Amino acid sequence: MWRCSSFLFSLVRPLNRRIHPQLALNRFEFAQHFFTTEILRTANEGVFSKRTSPFIAFVLGGPGSGKGTQCMMIADTFGFTHLSAGDLLRKEMVSDGENGVMIRNSIKEGKIVPSEITIRLIQKAIESSENYKFLIDGFPRSDENRIAFERIVGVEPDLVLFFECPEEEMMKRVLSRNQGRIDDNIETVKKRLQVFHTLNLPVVNYYSRKGKVHKINAVGTLDEIFEKVRPLFAAFSKDGPRN
Ligand SMILES: Nc1ncnc2c1ncn2[C@@H]1O[C@H](COP(=O)(O)OP(=O)(O)OP(=O)(O)O)[C@@H](O)[C@H]1O
Ligand SMILES: O=c1ccn([C@@H]2O[C@H](COP(=O)(O)O)[C@@H](O)[C@H]2O)c(=O)[nH]1
Ligand SMILES: [Mg+2]
């Protein structure tokens, strides 16, 4: 679906620009204009069947709060595509791309990679997907990230999940994760927690004021936490339409 819109967008973009800059459509506007009918025809998921743009849930929480773990369970159960911003950056980091070294240094220091880079990776993943429902895990990390996403991609999240977890628990989980991540060490975790408080939380507060945040107590077994998450996605099914 979105891959298709991207291809067609690339065909009409020069035309848009020649006509009038204000008439140029961004990619999602284009998808809305040209694919509304198809979504209406194929969708079969209650209130969301009338959607004309992708369904986007931002999944936020401190390091080790369980975002990735719960996203995998949501994706498996409800047919979402799970896009972890951190995973996309780690993949880019080991590719031959020009930003590899900068991304590695940022992750090692627990710093936030420039918005344009992360957004480009997320946007590419959305556009190349057949799906229309996405979990964006670990993004936006700052108000600057959030504003850039809204400006570049032109959509707001439909809901925001926030996993609330005590610091000692997050620290314990990260330090016993054992996946070979370069930021799973005590020095980097301390920095990441600081960034979480100063830059990530304002994003949660912003969406709270807009009534979009669903706060989940992230302490408990995986299944206990998933049972709190489940009702938020009840309108979706695993075998629901992907295009
Ligand atoms: N409810 C839980 N109880 C105990 N351990 C958990 C729980 N949820 C996840 N974990 C474990 O904690 C570690 C961190 O979880 P996860 O990778 O899902 O966190 P995250 O929020 O994605 O972290 P990061 O932001 O660092 O990517 C993993 O080893 C995971 O298996
Ligand atoms: O939007 C993002 C997401 C992540 N980063 C960088 O990656 C690491 C790890 O992210 P996880 O989500 O915990 O896997 C994070 O500390 C940042 O350095 C980012 O810059 N922007
Ligand atoms: Mg994660």
In the block, tokens 């369980």 appear at: 66
- In whole angstroms, give the CA distance from residue 37 to residue 45: 15
SS3 of residue 180 by DSSP: coil
Please report, rounded to a whole number, the percentage of residues in the chain having pLDDT higher than 90: 73
Residue 42 confidence (pLDDT) above 80: no
pLDDT at 211 (0 to 100): 98
Q: Residues 49-67: what's their mean pLDDT?
A: 87
Distance 230 CA to ligand 1 centre (A): 18
CA–chain centroid gap for 108, Å, is: 21
Q: Which phi and psi angles does 66 have, rounded to 5°?
A: 105, 20
pLDDT at 192 (0 to 100): 98
Ramachandran region of residue 174, left (φ > 0), alpha (ψ -120 to 50) or beta?
alpha
Domains annotated on the chain, with CATH = 22-233 (3.40.50.300)
Residue 229 confidence (pLDDT) above 60: yes
Distance 59 CA to ligand 3 centre (A): 10
- In whole angstroms, give the CA distance from residue 91 to residue 56: 22
178-227 residue pLDDT tens? 999 999 999 999 999 999 999 999 999 999 999 999 999 999 999 999 99
Residue 228 carries which side chain, given as an amino acid letter? K
pLDDT at 5 (0 to 100): 46
> Model-level pTM?
0.85
In the block, tokens 């996403």 appear at: 149
pLDDT at 238 (0 to 100): 80
Q: Residues 35-46: what's their mean pLDDT?
A: 39
64 is in an annotated binding site: yes
Residue 38 confidence (pLDDT) above 50: no
Q: Which of 69, 190, 222 maximizes ligand 1 atoms within 8 Å of its Cβ, making it the mutation to test the pocket?
A: 69
Distance 70 CA to ligand 1 centre (A): 8
Among the bound ligands, name the one nearest to the CA of residue 63: 1
- In whole angstroms, give the CA distance from residue 68 to residue 139: 12
> Does ipTM surpass 0.90 in this model?
yes
Ramachandran region of residue 176, left (φ > 0), alpha (ψ -120 to 50) or beta?
alpha
Per-residue burial over 115-136, b = 16 or more CB atoms within 10 Å of its CB, e = otherwise:
bebbbebbbebbbebebbbbbb
The C-alpha angle 68, 69, 70, rounded to 5 degrees, equals 95
Residue whose CA is at the smallest distance from ligand 2 atom 9: 86
Residue 30 confidence (pLDDT) above 90: no
CB atoms within 10 A of CB 186: 9
60-112 residue pLDDT tens? 999 999 999 999 999 999 999 999 999 999 999 999 899 999 999 999 999 99
Output 129 or 243, whichever has higher pLDDT. 129
Ion ligand 3: residues, CB within 5 A, are 68
Ligand 2 atom showing the smallest separation from residue 89 Cα? 7
Residue 130 confidence (pLDDT) above 80: yes
pLDDT at 53 (0 to 100): 83
90 is in an annotated binding site: yes
Q: Which two tokens stand for residue 48?
A: 């969301």
